[in-house]
Amino acid sequence: MRCAIAAVLSASVVVGGSSATAASERCRAEGNIVPLVDLPEASGIAVSRRIPGRLWLHNDSGAPVVFGVDEAGRIVQRVTISGAAVRDWEDIAVGSCEGGSCLYVADIGDNRSHRQDVTIYRVPEPGPQDSETAPARAIRATYPDGAHNAEGFFILPDGAMYIVTKEASAGLYRFPRDGQAGVLERVKMLPEITGRVTGAAATSDGARVAIRTHEIVSIYRASELTSTVPSTPIPIDVRMLNEPQGEGVAFAGDGLYLVGEGGGGHRPGTLARLRCSL
């Protein structure tokens, strides 16, 4: 992924201009968009580090369950997150933790912006035969400036966790460095993003971060994004996928996975893959 994303980052891109089209041409859809019948509210996606070819997905409401999906979109596993509750699950990530890899499920949605806090559920990443996890650790935090609706979450290799808000002007917030409950730190606003953020993800090496809206995936250098300096991402137009409601994003080995809701009416969610190359 490092070479592919570096290739994308080598372009100068302006959304809506010819260079934006050129950047999008560096990523092409692989196969058809896949319906996810049991995931009408598919909201987050992460690539397993423990099971080759396994993707972890979830709905944003209902039971506290993550779905193991293969690369063809077939659900092959359902895993209950023990001790977790679902208020508004909006994103998921896989990151390092004691003893291996963990799932981080972000219960951060707040359509009315009135929650007292947000919660990240952390559990050891399930194995291929697991149907329930060990009891989840709930990491709770509050915003320093009042409640926010959010759908983007990512974690870097050093354990630093971030939330990207879903507002007219997106904001980037960081959890306390020790990963404990507490007050989030506002890193900066992200005025370069047009549209409301619905998902985020980091590469496994922490070099790049993707932040998506319904129509655009913005690729950042993580060191620039998480600093206080202005950020200049490379936007990739994903409207050609015709997702009913694009929601989540994850880095693949040579591109991106994108997941979306079905658009209401209990219609199936969607899974798509972009392959990015020189």
Which segments in the chain show pLDDT lower than 70? 1-25, 178-180, 277-278
| CA Rg value for the chain | 17
Output the pLDDT for position 27: 86
- Name the DSSP class of 41: T
Output the pLDDT for position 23: 52
Output the pLDDT for position 167: 94
Taken in order of first residue, the domains within the chain and their CATH numbers are 2-276 (2.120.10.30)
Output the pLDDT for position 181: 72
User: pLDDT tens-digit profile of 207-232?
Assistant: 999 999 999 999 999 999 999 999 99
Output the pLDDT for position 251: 96
Output the pLDDT for position 126: 97
Contacts of 132 (CB under 8 A, 6+ apart): 79, 80, 82
Output the pLDDT for position 13: 34
Output the pLDDT for position 104: 98
Output the pLDDT for position 24: 53
Q: How many CA atoms lie within 13 A of 234 on its CB side?
A: 22
